[in-house]
A and B are shown apart, each in its own frame.
Chain A
Amino acid sequence: MIELIRRNRLLFTAVGVLILLIVVLSVYGARPTRSRIVDETVNAVAYPFQAGFTKTASWLSGIFDRYVFLVRLKAENEQLNLENQALKEELNHYINGAIQFDILREQLKFKEADPEVRVYAEVVGESLDNFHHALLINKGHLAGIRRNFPVVLREGVVGRVQSVTALQSVVQLIVDRRHRFPVILQRSRERMILEGGGGSLRLKAPDRGIVLGQGTSLRMERIRMLADVKQGDRVITSGLAGIFPKGLLVGIVTGVAREQHELFQTATIQPVVAFNKIEGVYVILVDKNDSGQPFFSNP
Chain B
Amino acid sequence: MRAWIYPAIGLASFWLELTAIPYLSIFGIKPNLFLLTVLVLGLRWMSPWLFVYGVAVGIALDVFSHGMLGVYGISFFIISFLAIYVGSAIYENTLWFTMVSVAGLTLAEGLISISIFEILDSTAPWWQWLSQRVLPAAIYHAVLAPFLAWGLIWLERLLKFTESVRPRP
Chain A residues proximal to chain B, CB less than 8 Å: 10, 13-14, 17-18, 21-22, 24-26, 28-30, 32, 35, 38-39, 42-43, 46, 49-50, 53-54, 56-57, 124-132, 134, 136, 162-163, 170, 177-178, 197-199, 215
Q: Shortest beta-carbon distance, B78 to chain A, in Å?
A: 7
B65 and A127 contacting across the interface, CB-CB below 8 Å:
yes
- Checking A13, A29, A54, A126 against B71 with a beta-carbon cut-off of 8 angstroms, the contacting residue is A29
Given A128-B17, A131-B117, A38 and B69 contact (CB-CB distance below 8 Å): yes
Q: How far is the CA of A128 from the CA of B81 in the complex (A)?
A: 22
Q: Mark B54-78, 1 if CB is under 8 A from A, else 0.
A: 0100011101111111111110011
B67 and A21 contacting across the interface, CB-CB below 8 Å:
no
Q: Shortest beta-carbon distance, A245 to chain B, in Å?
A: 24
Q: How far is the CA of A70 from the CA of B59 in the complex (A)?
A: 43
A38 and B124 contacting across the interface, CB-CB below 8 Å:
no
B14 and A134 contacting across the interface, CB-CB below 8 Å:
no
Interface of A is mostly: helix
Interface-central residue, A29, A30, A56, A162, by most chain B CB under 10 Å: A29
Question: Is B103 positioned at the interface, with any CB of A under 8 Å from its CB?
Answer: no
Given A53-B14, A128-B17, A198-B129, A35 and B69 contact (CB-CB distance below 8 Å): yes
Q: How far is the CA of A189 from the CA of B15 in the complex (A)?
A: 47
Which B residues are CB-close (under 8 A) to A43?
Answer: 63
B73 and A128 contacting across the interface, CB-CB below 8 Å:
no
Question: Is B151 positioned at the interface, with any CB of A under 8 Å from its CB?
Answer: no
Q: How far is the CA of A54 from the CA of B16 in the complex (A)?
A: 10
Chain B residues proximal to chain A, CB less than 8 Å: 11, 14-15, 17-19, 22, 28-30, 32, 34, 48, 51, 55, 59-61, 63-74, 77-78, 81, 113-114, 116-117, 120-121, 123-125, 128-129, 132-133, 137
A29 and B63 contacting across the interface, CB-CB below 8 Å:
no
A215 and B73 contacting across the interface, CB-CB below 8 Å:
no
CB<8 Å pairs between A and B, sample of 24: A13-B48, A14-B51, A25-B69, A25-B73, A26-B70, A29-B69, A29-B71, A29-B120, A35-B69, A39-B69, A42-B59, A53-B19, A56-B19, A125-B17, A127-B65, A127-B66, A128-B64, A131-B65, A131-B113, A131-B114, A136-B64, A170-B63, A170-B64, A198-B129
A29 and B55 contacting across the interface, CB-CB below 8 Å:
no
Which A residues are CB-close (under 8 A) to B68?
Answer: 25, 28-29, 32, 35
Which B residues are CB-close (under 8 A) to A25?
Answer: 68-71, 73-74, 116, 120
A49 and B11 contacting across the interface, CB-CB below 8 Å:
yes
Which B residues are CB-close (under 8 A) to A57?
Answer: 18-19
Which A residues are CB-close (under 8 A) to B63?
Answer: 38-39, 42-43, 163, 170
Q: How far is the CA of A198 from the CA of B120 in the complex (A)?
A: 16
Q: Which B residue sits closest to A61, measured CB to CB?
A: B19
Given A57-B18, A131-B117, A197-B125, A162 and B67 contact (CB-CB distance below 8 Å): yes
B59 and A38 contacting across the interface, CB-CB below 8 Å:
yes
The 7 closest A-B pairs by CB, nearest first: A25-B70, A129-B65, A57-B19, A28-B69, A29-B68, A42-B63, A132-B66
Q: Shortest beta-carbon distance, A252 to chain B, in Å?
A: 22
- Checking A10, A42, A50, A131 against B48 with a beta-carbon cut-off of 8 angstroms, the contacting residue is A10
Q: Which A residue sits closest to B75, measured CB to CB?
A: A21
Q: Shortest beta-carbon distance, A270 to chain B, in Å?
A: 17
Given A28-B68, A131-B65, A126 and B22 contact (CB-CB distance below 8 Å): yes
Q: How far is the CA of A199 from the CA of B64 in the complex (A)?
A: 17
